Amino acid sequence: ILNVEQSPQSLHVQEGDSTNFTCSFPSSNFYALHWYRWETAKSPEALFVMTLNGDEKKKGRISATLNTKEGYSYLYIKGSQPEDSATYLCAFISSGSARQLTFGSGTQLTVLP
Amino acid sequence: DVKVTQSSRYLVKRTGEKVFLECVQDMDHENMFWYRQDPGLGLRLIYFSYDVKMKEKGDIPEGYSVSREKKERFSLILESASTNQTSMYLCASKLRRGGEQFFGPGTRLTVL
From the first residue on, what is the mean pLDDT of each consecutive set of 10 residues in chain B (112 residues)? 87 97 94 92 92 92 96 96 97 86 95 96
Alpha carbons A97 and A75: distance in angstroms, whole number: 24
Nearest-CA residue of chain B relative to A92? B98
A and B: number of Cβ contacts within 8 A: 57
- Read off the pLDDT of each residue in A64-90 and give the average, rounded to a whole number: 97
Alpha carbons B64 and B35: distance in angstroms, whole number: 11
Cβ-contact B33, B93 below 8 angstroms: yes
Model confidence at A98: pLDDT above 70: no
Cβ–Cβ below 8 Å for A44 and B97:
no
Strands A10-14 and A107-112: parallel
| Dihedral over Cα of B103, B13, B48, B45: its sign | positive
Cβ–Cβ below 8 Å for A100 and B58:
yes
Q: Is B43 on the interface with A (CB under 8 A)?
A: yes
